[in-house]
Structure 1
Amino acid sequence: MCSTSPESSSKRITYKRTRPNPLFLEWLEELHEEAKTKKSKLEPMLKEALDSITKYPLPLQTGAECAILKGFEKKLCLFLDKRLEVYKYNKSVNAGSQSKNEIPSNMPSTSSYDEQNVRSLEPLVVVEKYNPEQIIVPKKTASGSSKSSNKSNKIYKPSFRSGGYAILIALLEQFRNDPNKFLSKEQLIEKAQPHSEESFIRPKPDTFYTAWSNMSRLITKGLVQKIRNNKKVKYGLTELGTLLAVELKEESTGIPTANDAIFNNGIVSTETEISLPQIAPITNGNNNIHEDIHTDRKQIELKAGTFDIILLIDKNETSGVNKTDPTVAQFNKYPELKHEYRSLKVGDFTWIAQDRQNKSVELVLPYVVERKRMDDLGHSIKDGRFHEQKFRLRKCGLKNVIYLVENFGKNQHVGLPIQSLMQAMANTRIHDGFKVHVTNSLSNSVRFLAMMSKRLTIEYKDKKLKGCNEEPNGEKLMTFKYFSTSSKKSKPLTVTETFIKLLLQLKGVSVDKALAITAVYSSPSTLIERYKTCDQKEGEFLLANLKYGESNRSVGPVVSKTLYQFFSKTF
């Protein structure tokens, strides 16, 4: 029988878990850091969750189990579960790739990589309506196993102008300038933002994700390397990442951005000169103005380099031209942007070419922007303003109409179901032929307008422009004075214009359809008289085969029947 000394018997061996939940802890630290940097309202909740999981002594297997701790709301638990799911999937894919020697030699092993660099683990991005880059997790089969794909090991390639694309292109540019210099997060965001349609600062609606969230996937895929130097984190391309970035750069050459799409059919080519019939000049103190002796109207000619492109902003878009107004404050962030606040009778934004010597000489460029926040769009559809505004925009004489639609928070209280608003935007783009561009915030809308101004300045700087006080014709422009006067709401409407406005109130009738109908039947009375000569079946299909718009599509039997029932029974 062996004896035990008092000293040895009183000594207890304890085991302390220093980090029982390292993955969840690291992911929360990452979220909290971003929320703190952005001064997000989620920061207190994330701080509470981070504190509670740090003190919790036992391992947690799922995000759902975290609900027992303070600060873990349902969405946060779901986020952790989704991220854990993709982490496990990526780990299994990486392990499989390693066994086939498909991992580049400069890529860390799966075990050390996953344990020591958990911040780089890829979250599952919940697919949003406007998310250009989707991360897809393999679906489970009935037996519970993941469906295998021959493309499962295919090299990851981010979508054009997504967050991942922008990061790779920015790092490639840096590599070409200085191969030995890595970039900090702040430096990289500044260089990457111009290459992305997503924001690196503002999260997508109802998610924690920004364009920066793509960084973790780039690291996981061995495209970007993350190093720590004196506690500072910096990023650079791996050899594989450099090859992919070069490929993306080459493939994207010539691909239009969202801004480019606006200009596909609008800008005059550099070989084309805007022309009018030759008019004998009469000297009047301004070389840019000629007198048309036949029409007694001033013909304006602005030579290249003699004018400025100025963005005009409707005063109704602001609550006064002062620095405290949100819209004014956003435009003030672009000191080089030439802009003025005026009363616009149609649209919210347009551009003019203004003579530098005589600022009263102004020609309106063929672009007009109608800005709609989602809630305003919903209300305008309900009260009928939406169709009236589209009609006035179509008739204003500016051939390039752009609807700038701005998301409103979570788009939950916008007057109509979000599906209805999406359909309205689709109809505006397809049936009315207007451009539609969607942004996530006022700041992004202003940035888009600033980009357009810069683009217009570049496009027109070498042009010679001509116009006068009359409706634009072909490439001839109109003066701002004529544009303002002819667009007034109080301008008397013709019978045909009144008929068009009436047709637009009926379901399924777009501006193009209304114009096609009134081209044949210029007034309600002419249509009613025609219906009187038809039996019911003939009347219901009278307008069905009328062609409308550039697509030359038919008005269709549904609209035709609706109009027959309305006009044959109402009048």
Structure 2
Amino acid sequence: MSETYANPLLLGWIKEWLDEARERNSKGAIVYKKAYESMKACPLVFQHPSEAQQLNGLGPKLCDRLTEKLKAYCEENALPMPEHPQKSASSKRASDEGTAESQPAKKPRKARPYVPTLRSGPYALILALATLNENSSQGLTKAQLIDLAQPNCDSSFTAPAESSKFHTAWSSMKTLLQKEIVYDFGRPLKKYALTEEGWEVAKRMKKVALPSNQGTLAFGNQSGPSGDSRLQNSMGGNGTEIIDDEETPIIRNDTQGWEPASDGTVTPIRIPPDSFTVQLVLDNREVRSSKDRDYLTNELHKKGVSPEVRALELGDVMWVAKFHNPTFLSQYGEEGDEVMLDWIVERKRIDDLISSMKDGRFHEQKFRLRRSGVKNVIYLIEEFTVPSDPNSAMAGKYNEMVASAIASTQVVNGYFVKRTKNLDDTIQYLARMTLLLRRMFSSSAGSEPSSNTLSLIPSRQLSSSQSYLTTLERLRGESPTTTYAVTFSTFSALTSKSDVLTLRDVFLKMLMCIRGVTGEKALEIQRRWPTPQAFIRAFEELDPKDRENMVSERMQTLVGRKKIAKVLSKKIAEVWGEDG
């Protein structure tokens, strides 16, 4: 392990455990990877492994394991074992007190093991996750978890207990994640599994479970000792469903057929045209003014369109296929009752367009739209009088900026640009688009059947946002007239800015912060230097005077809008190539 890291010994041991977990294909690999990345990035030198608990991903159990490893290392190399920071602090206080009357030190309060309340949300979730194999790398989706957990919980996982409250039993998942009882992984479809500490909780529940003939929880065919009376009392009572490991399925039977194929191919599911209706969805930030927030909704209602208003991860307006049967998607292991259609609108007023070009949002939004995989992107530009003298140089500059932005959006990005006179004209356009899409996908429409076919891409068959884009490209090539879509929740996860970003995503966003680095240029730089570390090392290997032209010279084979000029190369070097 490189000595450049603050804690090479601890980092090396975590790396060993990570490699072992990967060889066993154990779910613990995700836990160790999180701990490894935190330790690797930490600049602080720890005198004792217990101090590492302040890092994300290193809990008490892992730190205890590191402590045991350090003890063995010190004994083997005849080195003194570092003193625990709590003990050293208490001894220091004792020496500072000098002649003060000695008092017996308080025994540190032992942290009580986590005990979920009988038939509570955490209790049911742990039971459901414990149906997985402990050494498996599998996880359960939210929909699968709710189906398995609901019979063992008195509260609903989908509806609040009271109309005045918003929390459901699912809200307890946040507590389990914070306590590191459960961890989540996977994108776009998030899955959940028990951590090592979570399995300890599940095993404690198993030990104190009374025999099945007494009417309480029983795991498998074994009945453990009665154990802690407090825990036993908390799990007492009659009527609790008996859980049998051998009979409980790991994954619901109706979803087993939709797991990723071994060859990486994706099998879309054809959606019957009479099973859904086309629904307009508005972003909740699309308002006329702060005092008139319902104007768009009310005017659309007058035109026969009832929009749904919610927070959208991407775009300002989109259309979804909303199923008549809310449980239609659940038979395929999917969440919700909506499928994203291939149309999205980014609405800009002229003043907002100019502002977004100044602060860089314009290019970032177009880049995210490109990464979304949506085929029909509509850039709707709403006329708005810019408050300036029309004959002034500033007005001429603004007009030139807008004209350039529109041309770039049409020619470079290939998006359809729609210009409207005002907000009312925009509302009229959205209403017409909604009615047009309804006719396109209606089973009674007179168009050819192939022109209005909708197929669902199962979320379980997608491993990443890149696999989603690759799958879309392949399927559209095979059948250009079919609309291939994912569920609304999956689309939101794929396009979320706040979701877990890959290193590639972060690197691209960092590059695009430099004025002049467009999405296309950032992609080319990332292909040449895959990570920020590789990019910085490339600069460090050169003399300072040669760094300015490094990017432009090494990427001189690029042409058109991907080409990086020497002026831009110098800007990039000023940010990434400066020493220190």
Q: What TM-score bracket applies, with the shorter chain setting the length? A: 0.3 to 0.5
Per chain length, whose mean CA-contact separation is higher, i.e. which structure has more relative contact order (CA < 8 Å, sep 6+)?
2
**So what's the TM-score if we normalise by structure 1?**
0.43
Larger Rg: 1
